A = this chain, B = another copy of it.
Amino acid sequence: MAERSSQERPDAPRGAAIAFEDLMPGRTFALGEVEVDREDMLAFARRFDPQPYHLEEEAGRASILGGLAASGWYTVSLWMRAYADGVLADSTSQASPGGTVSWMAPVFPGDVLRFRIEVTGARRSKSKPNLGVVEITGTAARGEDVVMRYDFVGFFGTRATDGA
């Protein structure tokens, strides 16, 4: 993650590589791959989602998931880390009000997940002209299959603000 003085946020994003103006609809960012680590996956489940199919092989096999599978929140969190490192770290990001997460297929230890985002919409805030409202689809894919999708809104500072 790039170092950045907090004084640059939110009104002086001049040094950031990615500002609102860079997030045009259709632009995609490849965010790398991660192999799902069994112990890390289990540690997350023990702490935040201790359901049997996230903790035990046998319970996973007997469940609708078909095997010991990651908590959906773990998969989102892995995607979030890739998004934070690959986009937000050097951006004018001003947080997010939320979005819709879809888990299409279970994720298993050893799976290699490929993360990306695509910008699907962008507009300037009416109430805050130095803020942009960006619609983004984030995905985690295993091979050709998208296993998780997150459609969300992100707020990003503009480069050219009123009075700049």
Most buried by B among A51, A88, A97: A51
- Indicate if the CB atoms of A78 and B6 lie closer than 8 Å: no
> Interface residues of A: mostly helix, strand, loop or mixed?
mixed
CA A59 – CA B93 in complex, angstroms?
A: 12
- Produce 1/0 per residue, A14-49, CB < 8 A to B: 000000000000000000000000000000000111
- A164 beta carbon closer than 8 Å to chain B: no
Q: Work out how many copies of this chain go into the complex.
A: 2
A121 within 8 A of B: no
In the complex, the answer to whether A51 meets B6 with C-beta atoms within 8 Å is: no
Tell whether, in the assembled complex, residue B72 and residue A73 are in contact, meaning their CB atoms are under 8 Å apart: no
Contact check, A48 vs B6: say whether CB atoms are below 8 A apart.
no
Would you call A10 and B101 a contact (CB within 8 A)? no
Measured in the bound complex, the distance between the Cα atoms of B52 and A39 in whole Å is 27
Q: Are B88 and A6 in contact (CB under 8 A)?
A: no
Task: Give 10 A-B contacts (CB < 8 Å), ordered by A residue.
Answer: A6-B61, A7-B62, A9-B59, A10-B63, A49-B77, A50-B81, A72-B95, A73-B76, A73-B80, A98-B100
A sample of 4 more A-B contacts (CB under 8 A), given A51-B88, A72-B95, is A6-B56, A48-B81, A51-B89, A73-B80
